[in-house]
Amino acid sequence: SIGFMVGFSSVVSAKVMVDLWAAGFSQPLAITIGILTALLLGLIPGFINGFLVAKLRVPPFIATFGMYGIAYGFAEIICNNVPIHKLPTSLGSLGHGYLFYWLPGKILSFLGKPENLSREELKHLVSIIPNVTVIAFIFIGIFAFILAKTKFGQHTYAIGGNINAAERAGVNVKVHLIKVYMISSFFASLAGVMYVLQFITGRAPAGSARLLDAVVAVVIGGASLGGGKGTIMGTVIGALIIGVLE
């Protein structure tokens, strides 16, 4: 369901931004509320998946496959089968902006592109590190630390390696599984928000083409489909390899 959670999140965030901006909200406020709404609503499918798997013993493939249809259906209803356009204009500067702008020998600007530059100076302006890359690596760093250095991460590896042994060791497996599914859903929603930032539109099938890529990136990065092994940085490397091959 990851690919269609991306589409659901992109449609929700875009719809909220468009409606609030049309209602008279300022662009920054409309964008902020749209992003937060998408991320919060994106936790719900993860909770449902986790509950089905952990509490009702539904096979993970069946639970997530069912959620794929539900997420896609809701996304199509929200956008009425039409991509959502006419988003706040300042969204482009955030999604297409860079952390640093450097004009060799003259100026270094942080976050915003330097103003009052001539056409010739714009030709030599160097853009350094896209904003969306910064956002992605902030979350990557946070969760890489959580997985590697905290009890939550240890319990995650333990459950993946041997769920029965983890339960006997005192890990609350059911609650932990629900949390893990919610985190997965959160990251899919974050990808949907980043899609909106980059393409300035919300589409129900936004992430459908990336479903297999997501699985392959994890496997290439060293994770075991049987569970218990893998790192976030390994997954990042796997995703970069796929990007280069494409």
Could you list the pLDDT tens digit for every one of the 246 residues in the chain?
787 899 999 999 999 999 999 999 999 999 999 999 999 999 999 999 999 999 999 999 899 889 988 999 999 999 998 999 999 988 988 888 888 888 887 777 777 777 777 888 788 888 888 999 999 999 999 999 999 999 999 999 999 889 999 999 999 999 999 999 999 999 999 999 999 999 999 999 888 878 788 888 888 888 877 776 788 899 999 999 988 887
Residue 137: inside a domain: yes
Exposure string of 45-61, with b = 16+ CB inside 10 Å and e = fewer, is bbebbbbbbbeeeeeee
Residue 112: inside a domain: no
Q: What is the token pair recorded at 172? A: 């609350």
Distance (Å, rounded) from C-alpha 163 to C-alpha 106?
Answer: 59
Domain count, the chain: 1
Residue 158: inside a domain: yes
Task: Quote the pLDDT of residue 228.
Answer: 67
Residue 167: inside a domain: yes
Residue 108: inside a domain: no
Residue 105: inside a domain: no
Task: Quote the pLDDT of residue 124.
Answer: 82
Residue 35: inside a domain: yes
Say if pTM beats, i.e. exceeds, 0.85. yes
Distance (Å, rounded) from C-alpha 181 to C-alpha 54?
Answer: 10
Q: For residue 20, what are the domain limits?
A: 2-97+131-245
Residue 205, phi then psi, degrees to nearest 5: -90, 25
Residue 113: inside a domain: no
Residues 6+ apart with CB under 8 A from 213: 239, 242
H or E stretch covering 98: strand 98-103
